[in-house]
Amino acid sequence: MAQDISSIDVSWIEVGKVADIPPAGARVVKSSQGDIAVFRTADDAVFAVRDRCPHAGGPLSQGIVHDARVTCPLHNWVIDLASGAATGPDEGCAGTYPVRVEDGVILLGLKLPAAAA
């Protein structure tokens, strides 16, 4: 199951404009919680997933985006961008992060440290 932190207190950070990511492309956001891949699909949907394939740790941000999925560049695992789950016969899950777009700007939700929540 995907790591869903949408119900936990989050801090929203601006990570760039949708227009800065090519359609069917990705950018990496470095954070205290690790590298996060922010994807833009061909139809302009935006998703945020941990930039690490659950299979062999490949950088999902370097994979091929198709529909709302990304294919890992190492061993062709296909990851659903909405849930972070591997599809087909593969099993595993990359964590997902809440993301929203306001006036063309991407906001990424990062879990607040326990002391700040």
Residue that wins the pLDDT comparison between 13 and 88: 13
Q: pLDDT per residue over 10-45, tens digit each?
A: 899 999 999 999 999 999 999 988 999 999 999 999
**Residue 27 maps to which CATH number?**
2.102.10.10
Residue 117 domain-assigned (yes or no): no
Residue 116 lies in a domain: no
Number of domains in the chain: 1
pLDDT one-digit tens code per residue, 91-113: 899 999 999 999 999 999 998 76
How would you classify the pairing of strands 105-111 and 69-71?
unpaired
3 in a structural domain: no
Which pair of structure tokens corresponds to residue 116? 């700040």
Residue 2: the pLDDT is 43
Domain coverage including residue 18: 10-111
In one letter, which amino acid is 51? D
Residues 36, 51 contacting (CB under 8 angstroms): yes
Handedness of CA 81, 71, 86, 30 (dihedral sign): negative
Residues whose CB falls within 8 Å of the CB of residue 19, separated by 6 or more in sequence, listed in order: 104
57 in any annotated domain: yes
